[in-house]
């Protein structure tokens, strides 16, 4: 089944809810590196995802975390899926 752009965004925000590395998002959402870069840029620009500065101290890895606005998106996405599947 082909995922929509909205479903992919929701998947990314769910994986990054507690803060995670780029590679974990890529594998957790089954995206190519190029796809991941496109979505990360979009989500960072829209304020749905942020770079977690606290976790950046742990080595050279950058951690991404879902913002409050991203959690609002996830809740709305779940509500819409529930409405459409019942």
CA 62 to chain centre: 14
Query: Using DSSP, how many helices (H) and how many strands (E) does the chain show?
Result: 5, 3
Give the pLDDT of residue 53: 66
Q: Please give the CATH architecture assigned to the domain spanning 5-85.
A: Orthogonal Bundle (1.10)
Give the pLDDT of residue 56: 52
Q: Are 8 and 31 in contact (CB under 8 A)?
A: yes
Residues with Cβ within 8 Å of 43's Cβ and at least 6 positions away in sequence, in order, are 9, 12, 13, 49, 70
pTM tops 0.85, yes or no: yes
If one compares 75 and 55, the residue with the highest pLDDT of the two is: 75
Q: Are 25 and 16 in contact (CB under 8 A)?
A: yes
Give the pLDDT of residue 61: 74
Locate the domains of the chain by residue range: 5-85
Give the pLDDT of residue 86: 79
- pLDDT tens, 17-63? 999 999 999 999 999 999 999 999 999 999 999 998 665 555 667 89
Give the pLDDT of residue 6: 96
């Amino acid at each position: 089944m082909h995922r929509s752009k909205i479903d992919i965004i929701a998947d990314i925000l769910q994986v990054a809810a507690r803060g995670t590395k780029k590679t974990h998002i890529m594998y957790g959402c089954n995206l190519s590196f190029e796809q991941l870069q496109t979505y990360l840029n979009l989500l960072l620009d829209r304020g749905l995802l942020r770079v977690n500065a606290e976790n950046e101290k742990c080595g050279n890895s950058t951690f991404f975390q879902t913002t409050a606005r991203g959690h609002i998106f996830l809740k709305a996405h779940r509500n819409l899926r529930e409405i459409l599947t019942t």
